[in-house]
Amino acid sequence: YLGVFFNVMVMAAVTLAAIKIGGVLFGLSPVATVAVAGTVTVAFSAAGGFRSVVLTDLVLFGVAMVGSVVAAWVSVTRPEVGGLRALMSHSAVADRLGLVPDLGDPEAFVPLFVVPLAVQWWAAWYPGSEPGGGGYVAQRMLAARDEGHAIGATMLFNAAHYALRPWPWILVALASLVVYPDLEALRRAFPQVEASVMGHDLAYPAMLTFLPAGWLGLVVGSLAAAYMSTISSHLNWGASYVTHDFYRRFLRPDAGERELVRVGRVATVLLMVAAALLALRLENALQAFRLLLQIGAGTGLLFVLRWFWWRISAWSEIAAMVVSFGVALFFSSVDSGLAPWQELLTGVGLTTAGWLAVTWLTRPTDRSKLASFVALVRPGGPGWRKLEAAGIQPASDRGPWPVKAGLICMALGSAAIYGALFATGSWLYGNLIAALWWSALAVISVTALIPSWRRLNTATDSNAADTPTGRDDLDRRNDA
Over range 146-163, report the average pLDDT: 88
Using pLDDT thresholds of 50, 70 and 90, give the confidence band for residue 375.
Answer: confident
Mean pLDDT of the 12-23 span: 89
Q: Do residues 76 and 176 make contact, with C-beta atoms less than 8 angstroms apart?
A: no
Residue 322 has pLDDT above 90, yes or no: yes
Which residues fall within 8 angstroms of residue 101, CB to CB, at 6 or more apart? Answer: 108, 109, 112, 113
Judged against a pLDDT cut of 90, whether residue 196 lies above it is answered with no
Please state the rounded mean pLDDT for residues 152-179.
92
Q: Is 128 helix (H, G, I), strand (E, B) or coil?
A: coil
Give per-residue burial for 258-280: e unless 16+ CB within 10 Å, then b: eebeebbbebbbbbbebbbebbb
480 or 348, which is more confident? 348
Residue 48 is predicted with a pLDDT of 66
CA distance linking residue 351 with residue 347, whole number of Å: 6
- The predicted model gives 366-373 an average pLDDT of 91
Is the per-residue pLDDT at 147 higher than 60? yes
Across the chain, mean pLDDT equals 86
Distance of alpha carbon 70 from alpha carbon 63, whole angstroms: 11
CA nearest to 351, candidates 384, 373, 329: 329
pTM of the complete model: 0.79
Outline where 378-402 has alpha helix (H): 385-389
Tens digits of per-residue pLDDT, 75-128?
999 999 999 999 999 988 988 888 777 777 778 888 888 888 889 888 888 776
Strand partners, 129: 126
Q: Could you give the CA distance from residue 3 to residue 244 in angstroms, rounded to a whole number?
A: 11
Cβ neighbors of 98 (< 8 A, separation 6 or more) are: none
Tell me the per-residue pLDDT of 213-236, one tens digit each, with 9 for 90 and over: 888 888 888 888 788 888 888 898
185-189 average pLDDT score: 89
Region class of 378: left (phi > 0), else alpha (psi between -120 and 50), else beta: left
pLDDT reported for residue 266: 93
The predicted model gives 390-402 an average pLDDT of 76
- The CA-based dihedral angle spanning residues 336, 342, 348, 354, taken in that order and rounded to the nearest 10 degrees: -40
In tens, the pLDDT along 325-347 reads: 999 989 988 888 899 899 999 99
b/e map 191-208, b = 16+ CB within 10 Å: eebeeebbbbbbbbbbbb
DSSP 204-247: HHHHHTTS-HHHHHHHHHHHHHHHHHHHHHHHHHHHHIIIIIII
- Lowest mean pLDDT across 169-173, 345-349, 403-407: 403-407
Looking at the predicted structure, is the pLDDT value of residue 178 above 80? yes
Q: Given a cut of 50, is residue 463 above it in pLDDT?
A: no
* Whether residue 480 has pLDDT greater than 50: no
* Per-residue pLDDT tens over the stretch 469-479: 333 443 444 44
Torsion on CA atoms 90, 96, 98, 100, rounded to nearest 10: 180
pLDDT of 468: 38
**Confidence class for position 461, pLDDT limits 50, 70, 90:** low
pLDDT reading at 399 higher than 80: no
- Helix residue ranges per DSSP H, 241-339: 257-279, 285-296, 299-305, 314-333
Q: What's the full length of the chain, in residues?
A: 480
| pLDDT > 90? residue 354 | yes
pLDDT at 477: 41
CA torsion sign for 416, 420, 421, 427 is: positive
Bridge partners for 124 per DSSP: 297
Quote the percentage of the chain above a pLDDT of 70. 92
Among 82-86, 130-134, 142-146, 179-183, the range scoring the smallest mean pLDDT is 130-134
Q: What are the pLDDT digits (tens) for 42-87?
A: 887 776 666 766 777 778 788 888 888 999 999 999 999 999 999 9
pLDDT at 207 over 80: yes
CB 299 within 8 A of CB 324: yes
